[in-house]
Chain A
Amino acid sequence: MSKSKLGQVLESFENSPGSKSLLALARELNLSRGQTENLVDYWVRKGRIRAVAQQPECHTCGSKKACPFIFEMPRYYEFADE
């Protein structure tokens, strides 16, 4: 039986140390962004994957959270060692 999509997501994080962005994972597993969010969200809820700290709000720059050079801050996740 071939590995489930959920299993592939977890395996991808287990096999590559460090963090990985949602988009990089979507590309790696050939999934849409929404599908990838669903699958990652499942493992986050189960505590097997965790989100890497979000960008803090910047209080010192006029642009605040929305950086003038980036569309949207990429979301990064990593394998949560137990």
Chain B
Amino acid sequence: MTQSIALAGNPNVGKSTLFNALTGSRQHVGNWPGKTVEKKEGRLRLDDKDILVVDLPGTYSLTAYSIEEIIARDYIVNERPTAVVAVVNAANLDRNLYLVTQLIELGVPVIVALNMTDVARRRGLAISLQGLSERLGGIPVVETVGNRSEGLDNLKEAIRLVLEYPHTGHIQTNFSGILKEEVDHLRSVIQESETLREVFLSAWLATKLLENDQEVIARLKSQGEEELLDLARVSRERIENDTGEDPEILIADQRYQFVDQVIDSAVERPRETLITRSERVDEIVTHKIWGLPIFLLLMWLVFQFTSNVSGPFLDWVDVFINDFIYKWAGQVLELVGLGNSWLGSLIRDGVIAGVGGVLVFVPVLLFLYLALGVLEDSGYMARAAFVMDRVMRWMGLHGKSFLPMIIGFGCTVPAVYATRTLENEKDRKLTAFLATFMSCGARLPVYVVFGAAFFGASSGTLVFGIYLLGIVVALITGFVMKNTIYKSRPPAPFVMELPPYRIPRPRDIWNQMWERTHGFLVKSGTVILGVSMALWLLMAVPAHQDTGLFNKVEPGDSLFGRISSLIAPAFKPAGFGSWQTTGSLMTGLLAKEVIISTMSQIYAVESHLQNAVETSFSQDLFAVSADFGRAAFLTVQQAVNILPRTINLIPLVDIGELSFLPESSGVEGATRLESSLLRSFAESAGSSAAGPVAAVAFNVFVLLYIPCVSAVSAMRQEFGPRWMWAQIIYTLLIAWTAAVIVFQTGKVLFV
């Protein structure tokens, strides 16, 4: 007879990885009979024997509540594998051992594969294999790291021994009182029946009958075991009358208690020391007075790092895409005879200028996600949430509102859905409303471009200021609404867990950086590409037959230019009443990154034809490569200069910054888009001096005006059209008012 082993375990514990490692390519994938659940079988060669290995569906227990649980249990009870390998996540034993206890209760030889032990060790958990084995009735316990194939030989050896000398564990789940009496009573009845004894382990069957397991009851009914079922019913009633609780709950509860006892005796946790050390840091970081300034200082550093340190590579990517690729793609198009065609224009002025204009920001995002990854992985972000929660409660907002609002820094759409965690409809609406003022990641490229163009080395301060303004506007709006239309009793503090601090792990941070940047790249290749092509079409179509021909029209005379010009005067009091900025704000309703891709397209068409310097391909390639090296140097320089810049925040202190390279290095100069913005904003604001003020007003408008169409749809879906329109009108009004105040006041003060 073929020997067989079954692999059982919770979902996501590395069961499939171990299955693959044990069976290699000798696998068969099908379905469980009559079910749509996948069944994987393979062969393990051990001591010249072929052993069948069955991968059971991932389950948390062996009750009869899900199809996966029934399949796993039925296989073990009916097919009787020679042994079961219980794969458990060593880093989450509390959760995983419940299933192991149930497997042992089934009376089948069990081997515990303690998987993911590397993760458990990193978390400071010390697990005694011997202690665990003893508490689980002497069954073998083997350490494995499935994804590195560690411990595989030991597991095979344990399987070989169990197949040779089968040993079933015996555990004491400490049933007590009337529960123990009734289990013992039913066991003795089952023991008397030869047919039942052959099929079931008496203790397991007695427990299942007391749990009122419908699958087992149906099976016994079909076998004519009515008398036993009656006895079980009486036993259940006796337990319920005596304890006031459902026997099933009592049994489950005692199993959980058993798991707790096993863990107490076999696992050492470093909790106390870590928490003590973390608590000492928290005394400062989450301090009532210092907590907020520390949070603000760290955020200031994040935006310095994001804006300034990424600057040299941002400039390099800009030169690479918008000069090198743009120019040589044009040469290739000339060669194939498409140079002056509409298709050539679409590729250069639509796709390269539009998508390229946004791809330039990949270095910014990588640096932002690096900085946030370090804060997140170290455990600080949870403290930031804690500090902000206190501020929000002080403003009269609900403690739980902090979560959707902080999610709003990433993206407004999940922030709106995250309000579902609030029980009160009014709080939900208010929080979703406020979350739209938290500056989402998609708006960051706008601030970075304007910061670099108008404020140079101080661009990080502009970005920081804009983010802070978003929080302040949200808090003021919340405070006003909470004390007028949404008046209610003061909110309760929100209970939250602060995890211990730890040293950030480079690999985890890199994974986060890549995952998030990848999302941005996908969006560039889909939404932004589509919008860029549509925009190119609108800019290629003349508004009137007298103004030009298709693809041979000045941007301002195109359909897009004329439509934008109609709305532009509304922004004149805010200092950015040009058709270019108005058009960008309109397309920005689709997605905020599109503001920059639109500007790149508009200014590319306007400026590329003007500057054509004759250089060869090899000269350009050499220049781009040399600029890359220069950008690397300047990045280090910017990173080092964060220190003097931070110290200079102290009044009357002025430390000089370091300079590794001469000022006139190629990648440091203003990009084409930046130069165009300087010119365009000086014109619309009335003077060069007023240009930066108008730029700040424009950024304030971008921060506060209607969120993108996806966020607006989410609002409509959650709260209905009335609320959506209220939000659109309110954000538009507040954005316009704030931008006008900033421009008019700024002009009086600084120009």
Q: Which residues of A contact B (CB under 8 A)?
A: 1, 4-7, 17-19, 21, 23-24, 26-28, 32-35, 37-39, 41-42, 45-46, 52-53, 55-56, 58-71, 73-74, 76
Contact = CB atoms under 8 A, between A and B. Distances in A.
B327 interface: no
Interface of B: 60-61, 63, 65-66, 92-95, 98, 177, 243-245, 249-250, 252-253, 256-257, 259-260, 365, 368-369, 372, 376, 381-382, 384-385, 403, 406-407, 409-411, 413-414, 417-418, 420-424, 440-442, 495-497, 499, 512, 515-517, 519-520, 523, 591, 708, 710-711
Contacts, number: 155
Given A69-B406, A74-B403, A34 B496 contact: no
Given A68-B369, A69-B409, A60 B249 contact: no
Given A68-B372, A70-B381, A62 B256 contact: no
B245 A68 contact: no
Contact of A6 (B92, B256, B406, B495): B256
Nearest to A22: B497
B376 A62 contact: no
A81 B591 CA distance: 40
B440 A61 contact: yes
Dominant SS at the A interface? Answer: loop
Given A66-B516, A71-B499, A74-B403, A61 B245 contact: no
Dominant SS at the B interface? Answer: helix
A24 B413 CA distance: 25
Contact of B381 (A4, A17, A39, A71): A71
A70 B690 CA distance: 39
Contacts of A4: 245, 249-250, 253
24 contacts: A4-B253, A5-B257, A7-B249, A19-B420, A19-B423, A28-B495, A33-B94, A37-B94, A45-B65, A45-B66, A52-B420, A53-B417, A58-B410, A58-B413, A58-B414, A59-B413, A60-B442, A60-B591, A64-B515, A64-B516, A68-B409, A69-B385, A70-B385, A71-B499
Contacts of A18: 422-424
B711 A6 contact: no
A55 to B, nearest CB: 5
Contacts of B418: 55, 73
A66 B441 CA distance: 13
A35 B94 contact: yes
A66 B372 CA distance: 12
B421 A76 contact: yes
Contacts of B520: 62
A5 to B, nearest CB: 6
B710 A59 contact: yes
A79 B441 CA distance: 35
A35 B66 CA distance: 21
Contacts of A45: 61, 63, 65-66
Contacts of B252: 6, 42
A22 to B, nearest CB: 9
A26 B139 CA distance: 31
Nearest to A16: B423
Contact of A61 (B249, B368, B442): B442
Nearest to B406: A69
A64 B409 contact: no
Contacts of A63: 369, 410-411, 441, 516, 519
Contacts of B259: 35, 38
Contacts of A58: 410-411, 413-414
Given A7-B245, A34-B93, A60 B411 contact: yes
Contacts of A62: 365, 441-442, 516-517, 519-520, 523
A70 to B, nearest CB: 6
A74 B65 CA distance: 25
Contacts of A64: 515-516, 519
B95 A37 contact: yes
Nearest to A3: B245
Nearest to A76: B421
Contact of B243 (A1, A39, A52): A1
